[in-house]
Amino acid sequence: MKDFHLKALSDIKLWTWAAAVLPVVAIICLLLTRIFGTDTVFDIIVIAVGTVIFGISVVWWWWVMYTVSQITAMLSKASTNIEHVQDDLTNIRKDLDTEDDRIREWRNEIDN
């Protein structure tokens, strides 16, 4: 069941990327075809190379956006965890100060 879940997540990511990239690449392909036409082999090569380069740039752009969002989420989680650690250390310090006061009182009682 876990393998199915991981495969489903992988498939969802793939289809999300395809839904974001393929329409934009198709539009640029149509635009380049309209601009250059398909009269010569050179025109077809220009269209193919332009479409591939544009497709790579779109994929890279979405990858950067995804990576930045993941890094931001990770930093936010780390910041929250650091705040919890700071709160715990403050509580420990208070507990130790209270314990020190008790020890001082106990020593004073013994000395008197």
**Going along 34-112, which residue ranges are E strands?**
none
Query: How many structural domains does the chain have?
Result: 1
Residue 74 to residue 30: CA distance in whole angstroms = 39
Check residue 37 and report its DSSP letter: -
DSSP states of 89-110: HHHHHHHHHHHHHHHHHHHHHH
Tabulate helix, strand, coil % of the chain (nearest 5): 95, 0, 5
Q: Supply the range of the domain harboring residue 40.
A: 2-111
From residue 88, give the alpha-carbon distance in Å to each of 12, 67, 98, 101. Answer: 39, 31, 15, 20
Residue 44 to residue 42: CA distance in whole angstroms = 5
Along the 112 residues of the chain, how does pLDDT read in single tens digits? Answer: 567 777 777 777 888 888 888 898 999 999 999 998 889 999 999 899 999 999 899 889 888 888 888 899 898 898 888 999 999 888 888 877 787 777 777 777 777 6
Question: Beta-carbon neighbour count of residue 112 at 10 Å?
Answer: 5
